[in-house]
């Protein structure tokens, strides 16, 4: 890390879907909720979290602190005495009026309240991994988050996050003028690092006078704590309403709002699109995933479980074997 680089923390949220106490508490509030928001797919265990820690230690050893956010359960193999590890219970940072919560939105929208969290932090879901060497400047440059930019359309279907995306973009359009942002950030919008396909996507959506949506990689995000504080100050009602829902609902906003806010503000440095990649786990891209993990094709990946992930046990074992080729040695975070 350079002398001018300030500390960068990592934040990861995790839930043990097999925890009987957690499932019992969840059942008190779910009221028979069905659909993607409460699907078992959202909670089933791929048994690969140890590779997240191995990847961080091997490829991002410069990280300042890891904040491990949990309902209360912990992996049996986790060494909680590791000096870089901060165990964070929901009760430690989420306001009492929002608890208990089973909504990732509430857990994510309050991350800035974690005691001691750095101004610069990278947020991971537990299906996102570092799989090749990284440096601090891949995430922040002179205190500015790194990201890939493109305009995009919002996709709506029963299994998509389109409804949340729409709520986020509605707020962005209330606060930012697309044409003014384009003039200010022309060089960023059309930077070759964004990749040709993303630039074409942006060009095709230029005729609209408002933001139709933003390209979202569904990979780890670089955030500023101050961004969360600013959005909470200016859009408290929207965030408060979301956080009072025990489960995800259409009309909620989510942490993408913070990402979009940074993009619309121009508060980002363009990072190459291929740095991170999301595998929405389906039959056609599963073989590529197994090949790309040990080959270090991308620096960061997301293995996104979906309702179209068939033969779960077989795929789970295949992913574990691929990670073993890349990261066979235990990290200092494992007992």
Q: Which 3-state string (H, E, C) describes 308-328?
A: CCCCHHHHHHHHHHHHHHHCC
In the chain, % of residues over pLDDT 70? 93
Nearest CA-CA partner of 266 in 201, 183, 185: 185
The pair of three-digit structure tokens given for residue 326, joined into one six-digit string: 């890349």
Contacts of the segment 199-208: beta carbons below 8 A, 24+ positions apart: 199/150, 201/150, 201/151, 201/152, 202/149, 202/150, 202/151, 205/151, 205/152, 205/153, 206/151, 206/182, 208/178
Sign, CA dihedral 45-50-51-52, equals positive
120-124 and 8-14 beta bridge pairing:
parallel
Q: State the average pLDDT for the chain.
A: 93
Which of the four pLDDT bands, split at 50, 70 and 90, describes residue 41?
A: low
Tens digit of each residue's pLDDT (9 = 90 or more) over 286-306:
899 999 999 999 999 999 887
Tens digit of each residue's pLDDT (9 = 90 or more) over 193-224:
999 999 999 999 999 999 999 998 899 999 99
In this predicted structure, what is the pLDDT of residue 1? 53
pLDDT at 263 over 80: yes
Per-residue pLDDT, averaged over 239-255, amounts to 94
Strand order in the sheet with 300-304: 128-130, 300-304, 276-280
Q: Where are the beta strands (DSSP E) in 165-250?
A: 221-224
Q: What is the pTM of this model?
A: 0.94
Per-residue pLDDT, averaged over 81-105, amounts to 97
Pick the CATH number of 8-326 from 3.20.20.80, 3.10.450.50, 3.40.640.10, 3.90.550.10: 3.90.550.10
In this predicted structure, what is the pLDDT of residue 80? 97
């Amino acid at each position: 890390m350079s002398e001018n680089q300030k500390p960068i923390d990592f934040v990861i949220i995790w839930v043990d879907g097999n925890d009987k106490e957690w499932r019992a508490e969840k059942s008190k509030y779910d009221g028979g909720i069905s659909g993607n928001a409460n699907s078992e797919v959202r909670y089933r265990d791929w048994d690969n979290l140890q590779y997240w820690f191995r990847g961080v230690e091997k490829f991002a050893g410069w990280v300042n602190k890891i904040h491990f956010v949990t309902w209360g359960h912990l992996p049996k193999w986790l060494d909680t005495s590791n000096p870089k590890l901060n165990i964070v219970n929901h009760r430690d940072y989420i306001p009492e009026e929002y608890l208990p919560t089973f909504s990732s939105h509430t857990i994510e929208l309050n991350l800035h309240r974690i005691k001691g969290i750095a101004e610069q932090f990278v947020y991971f879901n537990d299906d996102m991994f570092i799989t090749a060497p990284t440096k601090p400047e891949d995430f922040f440059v002179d205190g500015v988050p790194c990201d890939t930019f493109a305009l995009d359309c919002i996709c709506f279907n029963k299994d998509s996050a389109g409804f949340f995306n729409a709520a986020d973009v509605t707020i962005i359009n209330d606060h930012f003028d697309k044409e003014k942002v384009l003039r200010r950030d022309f060089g960023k919008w059309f930077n070759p690092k964004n990749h040709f396909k993303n630039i074409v996507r942006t060009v095709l959506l230029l005729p609209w006078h408002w933001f139709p949506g933003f390209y979202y990689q569904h990979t780890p995000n670089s955030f500023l704590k101050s961004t969360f504080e600013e959005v909470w100050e200016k859009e408290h009602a929207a965030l408060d309403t979301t956080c009072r829902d025990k489960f995800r609902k259409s009309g909620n906003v989510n942490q993408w709002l913070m990402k979009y806010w940074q993009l619309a503000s121009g508060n980002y440095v363009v990072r190459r699109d291929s740095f991170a990649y999301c595998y929405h786990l389906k039959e056609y891209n599963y073989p590529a995933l197994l090949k790309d993990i040990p080959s270090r094709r991308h620096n960061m990946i997301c293995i996104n479980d979906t309702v179209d992930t068939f033969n779960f046990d077989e795929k789970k074992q295949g992913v574990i074997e691929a990670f073993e080729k890349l990261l066979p040695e235990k990290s200092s975070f494992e007992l």
